[in-house]
A and B are shown apart, each in its own frame.
Chain A
């Protein structure tokens, strides 16, 4: 059974930093592209970042470019999202999701972790 378990969310002050993790199990993690998608309270889905299976290339939404960094450790079956210079607009539930390739569908999702940026 595929399992994706996000952690690391919480309350952080504007301008602060946070690191999210996504522990994967039930599939060959190193063979799949991984993504972060967020959802602000009461809003729709918002693509954040995607990383290739090897971690050799990553892609980021314009809204987070230069502030967020996606990475992965295939030896630990774990995906990360390093978030810096956080603003209130980054407040959202952050989901990790797996896809066979960067361009393919997000076939499995975690349950999400809530990030709240507030003073």
Chain B
């Protein structure tokens, strides 16, 4: 089965840039989506199809995807960005949805 690997945690100071990676075999060939989940809340889509943003999501959130790594970049990090972030793909080989294990973003 297809596996997505994320770092368990990322820490960044306010105003700096956070980069959260999502590793998978030839993930560059798949569409990657990213979700933000704040404590006690449902997930919210922040980036879809590698690099597109839903309406209402700040431009500070961006994504890229190439080779074996997809990356969610959060620029000018704010305290309110502290949350768990998950990457997600649809694996056509198995016809299964797949989530990464999640990354806890801590704003120092």
Contacts and interface: CB of A to CB of B under 8 A. Distances in A.
Which of A95, A106, A112 gathers the greatest number of chain B CB atoms within 10 Å? A106
A97 to B, nearest CB: 8
A46 B92 contact: no
Contacts, number: 63
A105 interface: yes
A14 interface: no
A85 interface: no
Interface string A21-50: 000000000000001010000001111001
Contact of A105 (B1, B48, B100): B48
* Range for the number of chain B residues in contact with chain A: 20 to 34
Given A45-B102, A110-B42, A59 B95 contact: yes
A44 B45 contact: no
Contact of A106 (B33, B84, B98): B33
A50 B90 CA distance: 11
Contacts of A50: 97
B55 to A, nearest CB: 10
Contacts of B42: 95, 109-112
B45 A107 contact: yes
B43 A45 contact: yes
A61 interface: yes
B33 A105 contact: yes
Contacts of B98: 47
B38 to A, nearest CB: 12
A109 B43 CA distance: 7
Contact of B88 (A62, A95, A105, A112): A105
Nearest to B86: A45
Contacts of B102: 44-45
A102 B91 CA distance: 11
B81 interface: no
A95 B37 CA distance: 13
Given A102-B90, A106-B88, A47 B99 contact: yes
Interface of A: 35, 37, 44-47, 50, 59, 61-62, 95, 102-112
